[in-house]
Amino acid sequence: LAGWRLPRLGAVAAAVLAIVVWGLAQRIGGATHWSAAVWAVNLTTQGIALMTIAVLVSSLAERVRIERAAARVDPLTGLGNRRALVEQGRLLVDLCRRHRHAVSVAVIDLDHFKQVNDRFGHLAGDQVLRGIGELLAAEAREGDLYCRFGGEEFVLLLPATRADGAAGLAQRLLQLLPRREFSLLPGRPVT
């Protein structure tokens, strides 16, 4: 349990505590061994087993936490992905509903993106998607949810934002996007 709930150092500390408690329980309970050496070997073996289990379980728990987080992030843009939008979006909308705040959704679909990939290659397309991710991350307010929904589509969930605020953000993004330079697309604005 300690290995699953605590960081590695906490899990090792819990294992050490368990070893000490086990050893004291053996002594106080009157457990007898053929010799002190047998008792020491038994305690050491138990200790190694507990520490190994603690380290392995804490490593597994950390890996599970990393994988859960990665399952909600688009690896190309660093923005949330569709799963993050569904899970976190539901919470944001429920929170806005509970506090009677407006919530806006904006969808961004890049123009002629297939042509970028076909004409300039997928590296150029990936560069554009990363650039869009950087732009959106720079423009996001704390609490906004910006996600790559799929392909060249992005969804912005804007809590406590009325339609006019979302429209203003969309206009700002429309103005900023063509100004971004993409080295694999020299002189070709993305819209």
**Distance from the Cα of residue 187 to its chain's centroid:** 35
For residue 154, which of 68, 81, 104 has the smallest C-alpha distance? Answer: 81
| Separation CA 163–CA 5 (nearest Å) | 43
102-137 in b/e form (b: 16+ CB < 10 A) is ebbebebebeebeebbeebeeebbebbbebbbebbe
Is 181 a known active-site residue?
A: no
Q: How far is it, in rounded angstroms, from Cα 79 to Cα 92?
A: 16
Treating both helix axes as pointing N-terminal to C-terminal, what angle do 122-139 and 113-120 enclose, rounded to 10 degrees?
140
> 62, 152, 153, 181: which one is catalytic?
152
Token readout for 157 is 């969930």
User: What's the gap between Cα 26 and its chain centre?
Assistant: 45
Catalytic residues: 152
